[in-house]
């Protein structure tokens, strides 16, 4: 199956467990892989036969900039559900949400959650 990648989407959100996270906010990164049959779109040059990247980005942004949640797991689940709901051509999505500066003592480049969800 074919894939559409959206990499390094950057957002500033107020998600987290600790009060400082929800008050001050922090940067988050999201990567999306959409499994979509793309042969017809590629042969016909027809946007209706693929996923409009701008519209997909808007769905991700809506969640990342939206209602604060405690867990990046929740963000990933909401993004996956939204993309599968709004884009019937998507067969499966892989979502990675990264928190580059988690409130953890010790050097690290971040923590991330990656999930894969598909149609049942």
Query: For the domain that residue 45 is a member of, what is the CATH number?
Result: 3.30.1130.10
Sign of the torsion angle spanned by Cα atoms 55, 85, 31, 36: negative
Whole-number CA gyration radius for the chain: 16
Is residue 3 part of the annotated active site? The answer reads: no
**pLDDT at position 55:** 98
**pLDDT at position 35:** 98
Of 33, 45, 14, 53, the residue nearest 114 (C-alpha): 33
User: What residues make up the domain containing 58?
Assistant: 3-118
Catalytic residue among 3, 96, 99, 105: 99
Query: In total, how many domains does the chain have?
Result: 1
Alpha-carbon distance 110 to 107, whole Å?
A: 9
Alpha-carbon distance 8 to 32, whole Å?
A: 9
In the structure, what pLDDT confidence band is assigned to residue 97 with cuts at 50, 70 and 90?
A: very high
Mean pLDDT for all residues in the chain: 96
């Amino acid at each position: 199956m074919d894939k559409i990648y959206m990499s390094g989407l950057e957002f500033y959100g107020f998600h987290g467990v600790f009060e400082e996270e929800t008050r001050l906010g922090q940067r988050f990164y999201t990567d999306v892989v959409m499994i979509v049959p793309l042969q017809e779109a590629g042969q016909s040059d027809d946007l209706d036969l693929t996923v409009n990247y701008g519209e997909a980005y808007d769905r991700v942004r809506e969640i990342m900039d939206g209602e604060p949640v405690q867990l990046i797991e929740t963000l990933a689940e909401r993004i996956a559900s939204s993309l599968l709901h709004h884009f019937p051509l998507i067969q499966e999505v892989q979502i990675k949400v990264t928190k580059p500066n988690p409130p953890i003592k010790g050097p690290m480049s971040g923590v991330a959650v990656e999930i894969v969800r598909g149609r049942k």
